[in-house]
Amino acid sequence: MTAPVDIQNLSITFGTGPGAVKVLPSVSFAVAAGECFGLVGESGSGKSTVLRCVSLLTDIWTGTVKIAGKDVRSLPLRERCRLVQMVFQDPYGSLHPRQSVRTVLSEPLRIHGIGDRDARMRQALVDVGLPVDFLDRFPHQLSGGQRQRVAIARALILEPSVLLLDEPTSALDVSVQAEILNLLARLRELRGFTYIMVTHDLAVVDHMCDRFAVMQHGTITETLPRAAIAGNLATHPYARELIGASLEYEGHGRG
Amino acid sequence: MQGPILDVKNLSIRYHGASADAVRKVSFTLGRERLGIVGESGSGKSTVGRALLRLLPGATITADTLRFEDADLLALSEREMLKVRGRRMSMILQDPKFSLNPIRRVGQQVAETCLRHFPVSRAEARVKTLEMLAAVKIRDPERVHDLYPHEISGGMGQRVMIAMMLLADPDLVIADEPTSALDVTVRLQVLNILDALVRDRGIGLIMISHDLNLVRNFCDRVLIMYAGRVVETLDARDMDAARHPYTRGLLAAQPRIGGSRAPLAVLDRRPEWQEEMAP
């Protein structure tokens, strides 16, 4: 059920020769099975791009990405979908407005030829803390937090081992964020998921992650344990600046 | 010290065709201070800001008092309102990407404030624009003046917005989520610039935000809104001593650096909060 992720020399280059543009120069990191790994950095630093590469939503990259020891490029599409799933930032954009929750959740089951659909869909809703009669609702009948729960249920329904979380709570109010973070933490505890979580909020990293990487201009400047945040133990200047700004913003050291 | 800049008593707002008021009997006064309005999406905080500038066509605004300095905002004609809006009272919006005109140079857009409200020549407006761009700590104002919005970063865009708003030397600035679209490192920089300018010039500031950390650090006083009402008013530094269960719930729901990793407290919404009012 649980799987490690190993990323080596992941890079994206446009063009060839001297005019080539390296969008993502080279990213390497490894995430242990069952670990929650954070990716932080400013907008445009490439953190979401890494997730899109791992899930092959973007496939113009070079390098190797291995999940549970298997190269994601050589995995058949169906097998890949059952290994890794993604939750997107904005639940207002990531759910089809004219598809009911039932349609959203049943489609992967149908594609993968999995039986016992009704029971599985109900279970998925229970897992994310929604009433089962929500199956017949449409996205406009749901609040932002409920939508994000549906998006998480959709990611869970194929029982993957790795979840890629792209700013899963940044579009939500703090009270709703707390519910979703609690849900994600509980699911990881129960099922041993491996999470790779992109966020801009170091307080969320501190709450959820074991380790995190600070990205800038498409490269990882530093990989740090969670404990390095509170005392700002980073050594790279940009990582220090980012952590320092987050601490100051939270009111640490303002007296 | 003169009277308050803004005096609001029992402000209620109903959108066209809505069955209930979006804002219900909100009262507050504002002096030369920084007032935060916090609440979740849909709590009515932005609606209050927009109502003050009368930017809600079609909505019904009622109030016992809605006074901005010597002007009764409810009684002003649209023609008179044009002399207030953008000149004496202005607004900084959330995302510079969507609030700057994409096909006009940045400098021209800032200068428009000057040309619109003061009898100045284009050359004078340009000088004032460059001065203001420098005041918001844009390093090379001459260069930035001639750039288009897509050529500048988000943080720079938001500083341009601040320059545009402050150029008219307003008495009141309403900042609606001025930094939510920005990165943490840039956010502090922009807030510090806004903060310094507002203090130096003695401008009243209303900061509308969902971010408790922001209002705690950059405001003097905070109104907490829930379901269209103000449920609590606090001094920003006393935020941790909040009494209303909603405010306390919001504070507890927030993950903190160095905090416990136990499940976060989840808000237990009470129906009676909808009807309560700040004492």
Number of neighbouring beta carbons within 10 Å of residue A191 = 16
Closest in A206, A229, A251 to B213, CB measured: A251
pLDDT tens per residue across span B155-200: 899 999 999 999 999 999 999 998 888 888 888 888 998 999 888 9
What's the whole-number average pLDDT of chain A?
92
Return the closest-CA partner of residue B170 out of B137, B128, B204. B204
Taking the C-alpha atoms of residue B49 and residue B90, their distance in angstroms, rounded to an integer, is 10
How far CA A119 is from CA of A101, A116, A125, A157, A193, in Å, comes to 14, 6, 10, 11, 22
Whether B183 and A43 lie within 8 Å, measured CB to CB: yes
Q: What is the pTM of this model?
A: 0.88
pLDDT of residue B278: 56
pLDDT tens per residue across span A225-251: 999 999 999 999 999 999 999 999 887
pLDDT tens per residue across span B217-262: 899 999 999 999 999 999 999 988 999 999 999 999 999 998 888 8
The amino acid occupying position A146 is: Q
Using CB atoms and an 8 Å cut-off, which of residues 199-218 of chain A contact chain B? 200-204, 206-208
Torsion of CA B192, B195, B199, B204, to 10 degrees: 180
Using CB atoms and an 8 Å cut-off, which of residues 129-168 of chain B contact chain A? 154
A233 shares contact with chain B (CB less than 8 Å): no
β-strand B65-68 against B6-14: which pairing, if any? antiparallel
Domains in chain A, CATH or no CATH each? 5-254 (3.40.50.300)
pLDDT of residue B129: 96
Whether A175 and B249 lie within 8 Å, measured CB to CB: yes
What's the whole-number average pLDDT of chain B?
91
pLDDT band, very low/low/confident/very high, at A254 (cuts 50, 70, 90): very low
pLDDT tens per residue across span B28-86: 999 999 999 999 888 999 999 999 999 998 899 999 999 999 999 999 999 999 999 99
The amino acid occupying position A187 is: L
pLDDT of residue A65: 96
pLDDT band, very low/low/confident/very high, at A255 (cuts 50, 70, 90): very low
Over 80: is that where the pLDDT of B131 sits?
Answer: yes
A79 neighbors A157 (Cβ within 8 angstroms): no
Over 60: is that where the pLDDT of B279 sits?
Answer: no
Q: From the CA of B183, how many Å to the nearest CA of chain A?
A: 6
Beta strands in A136-193 (DSSP E): 162-166
pLDDT of residue B18: 87
Determine the average pLDDT of the residues in B117-131. Answer: 94
Number of neighbouring beta carbons within 10 Å of residue B153 = 15
Determine the average pLDDT of the residues in A114-139. Answer: 93
The amino acid occupying position B8 is: V
Whether B154 and A230 lie within 8 Å, measured CB to CB: no
Using CB atoms and an 8 Å cut-off, which of residues 66-105 of chain B contact chain A? none
pLDDT tens per residue across span A28-72: 999 999 999 999 998 888 999 999 999 999 999 999 999 999 999
Which pairs count as long-range contacts for B131-139, CB under 8 Å and 24+ apart, including other chains?
Answer: B132/B163, B132/B166, B132/B167, B133/B107, B133/B159, B133/B160, B133/B163, B135/B163, B135/B166, B135/B197, B136/B160, B136/B162, B136/B163, B136/B166, B136/B193, B136/B197, B137/B189, B137/B193, B138/B163
A184 shares contact with chain B (CB less than 8 Å): no
B265 shares contact with chain A (CB less than 8 Å): yes
Taking the C-alpha atoms of residue A201 and residue A47, their distance in angstroms, rounded to an integer, is 13
